[in-house]
Amino acid sequence: MLSYLHSFHAGNFADVLKHSISAYILDYLTSKPKPMFYLDTHSGVGAFSLFASEAQKNKEYQNGIGKLWHLSQDRNAFEQAPELVQQYLELIQQFNNSDELSHYPGSPWFAQHLLREHDRLNLFELHPREFKTLSQNFANDRRIKVFQKDGFHGCNSQLPPKERRGYILMDPPYEVKTDYQTALDAFIKAHKKFSTGTYALWYPVVNRKQIDLLEQQFKDSGVKNIQLFELGIGKDEDKGMNSSGMIVINPPWTLMKAAQQALPWLSTQLAGKEGFYRCEQLVEE
């Protein structure tokens, strides 16, 4: 199935979690001088107009970045936000280059912007239309290679990277229920080839039992040093996504503290008393 288009969901609360965590990881990894490698298994197009018909259909960005954008216009309020959130908002500001929130970046842009001249980026996207736009958006950056392949399988062909340092982001659409198991299997295979890399898996909470199973499978995988972060705007329901999460392997040692400061704040900003968050060490080092 290739029906999923992220343009309908760009900038929503799930993107706030995914991109704030991911940007923090990238910033940490690039603070060290040695080159690094970035791989995105499901890249999308890399940039979105929030005025486009897809984004305007349900206006999901209004439950995410739309509730935070005002902070970029109020210096005092901005400085009260946690460090992880400040870093994320500064990047969104740079992408828009305006006082108006009109566009939202995808994961490839965050990586392109934060990585350095001597780093490499590999972007995978299977959807024909998305792949074409992704290729056009990043055509002039020699650090970047774009592949029209299934990122689950293409990932392993690129590991281990010659840099011996890297961040692998998996953000599948979960169009089919087997994506959960496929993602888990891909993670474990990749980790066997490149055990020192940092990995992150984004997941939607549509069925809590499915996530409970995924967590247990990670715990039983034999992989060490796994953290979990969730952010939600409502209670779990049988239908629809009210929360999402990130499972991170080999995270920066500072990430847990940063998330423990940021996620309670974000949950309140995005959903008030209905907000929800989790910060857990699933598996010890």
Is 195 inside a domain boundary? yes
CA distances from 275 to 38, 59, 102, 209, 272 (A): 32, 19, 26, 20, 6
Q: Which domain holds residue 151?
A: 6-283
Residue 113, annotated as binding a ligand: no
At 2 the pLDDT is: 53
Q: Convert the pLDDT of each residue in 206-247 to its tens digit.
A: 999 999 999 999 999 999 999 999 999 988 775 678 999 999
The CATH number of residue 242's host domain is 3.40.50.150
Catalytic residues, by residue number, are 171
Rounded to 10 deg, the angle between the 255-271 and 83-96 helix axes is 70
Q: Convert the pLDDT of each residue in 85-140 to its tens digit.
A: 999 999 999 999 888 999 999 999 999 999 999 999 999 999 999 999 999 999 99
Is 245 inside a domain boundary? yes
Per-residue pLDDT, averaged over 149-168, amounts to: 95
Per-residue pLDDT, averaged over 175-203, amounts to: 95
Residue 107, annotated as binding a ligand: yes
Query: Number of folded domains in the chain?
Result: 1
- For residue 73, report the phi and psi dihedrals to the nearest 5 degrees: -100, -5
Residue 150, annotated as binding a ligand: yes
Half-sphere exposure for 173 (CA within 13 Å, toward CB): 20
At 3 the pLDDT is: 53
At 238 the pLDDT is: 54
Number of Cβ within 10 Å of residue 121's Cβ equals 21
Is 63 inside a domain boundary? yes
Residue 243, annotated as binding a ligand: no
Is 1 inside a domain boundary? no
Q: Convert the pLDDT of each residue in 18-59 to its tens digit.
A: 999 999 999 999 999 999 999 999 999 999 989 988 888 889
At 5 the pLDDT is: 59
